[in-house]
Structure 1
Amino acid sequence: MDKNLTADQHQVWDLEIKPQNSAFDLHLKDVWKYRDLLGLLVRRDFVSFYKQTILGPIWFFVQPLVTTIMFTFVFGTLAKIPTDGLPQPLFYMAGITAWNYFADCLTKTSTVFKDNADIFGKVYFPRLIMPLSIVLSNLVRFGVQFLLFIMVMIFYAVKGAHFHLTWAITLFPLVVVLMASMGLGLGMIISAMTTKYRDLAFLITFGIQLLMYATPIIYPLSAAPAKYIWLISLNPMSELIEIFRYGFLGRGSFSWGALGYSTIMTVAFLMLGTVIFNKVEKSFVDTV
Structure 2
Amino acid sequence: MAENNHTLPTDGWTTVIRPKTGWFDIDLHELWQYRDLIVMFVKRNFTVLYKQTILGPAWIILNPLITTIIFNVVFGGMANMPTDGVPGFLFYMAGNTVWTFFANCVNNTANTFVTNSQIFGKVYFPRLTMPVSQVLTSLINFFIQAAMYLIFW
Q: Where does residue 20 of structure 1 map in the other structure?
A: 20
CA shift in 2, pair 1:8/1:73, >3 Å:
same
Name the CA distance, whole Å, in 1 between partners of 2:53 and 2:6.
52
Q: Are 2:34 and 1:51 equivalent residues in the alignment?
A: no
Name the CA distance, whole Å, in 2 between partners of 1:111 and 1:137.
14
Taking structure 1 as the reference length, the TM-score comes to 0.48
Q: Where does residue 113 of structure 1 map in the other structure?
A: 113
Deviations 1:138-181 (A, max 9, x none): 1110111111111211xxxxxxxxxxxxxxxxxxxxxxxxxxxx
Name the CA distance, whole Å, in 2 between partners of 1:102 and 1:84.
24
Deviations 1:252-274 (A, max 9, x none): xxxxxxxxxxxxxxxxxxxxxxx
Name the CA distance, whole Å, in 2 between partners of 1:25 and 1:87.
46
Name the CA distance, whole Å, in 1 between partners of 2:92 and 2:101.
15
Q: Where does residue 132 of structure 2 map in the other structure?
A: 132
Name the CA distance, whole Å, in 2 between partners of 1:70 and 1:14.
56
Name the CA distance, whole Å, in 1 between partners of 2:7 and 2:110.
43
Supply the AA of the counterpart residue of 2:90: L
Any gaps of 5 or more consecutive residues in structure 2? none
1:23-38 matches, within 5 Å, as 23-38=23-38
Deviations 1:201-241 (A, max 9, x none): xxxxxxxxxxxxxxxxxxxxxxxxxxxxxxxxxxxxxxxxx
1:14 CA drift (Å): 2.6
Among all aligned residue pairs of Structure 1 and Structure 2, give the percentage whose two residues are the same amino acid.
47
Q: How many equivalent residue pairs?
A: 150
Name the CA distance, whole Å, in 1 between partners of 2:116 and 2:8.
37
Name the CA distance, whole Å, in 1 between partners of 2:67 and 2:8.
63
Q: Are 2:98 and 1:85 equivalent residues in the alignment?
A: no
1:152-171 matches, within 5 Å, as 152-153=152-153
Taking structure 2 as the reference length, the TM-score comes to 0.87
Q: Where does residue 42 of structure 1 map in the other structure?
A: 42
1:24 CA drift (Å): 3.5
CA shift in 2, pair 1:10/1:59, >3 Å:
closer
**SS of the residue aligned with 1:110?**
helix
Name the CA distance, whole Å, in 1 between partners of 2:82 and 2:19.
57
Supply the AA of the counterpart residue of 1:100: T
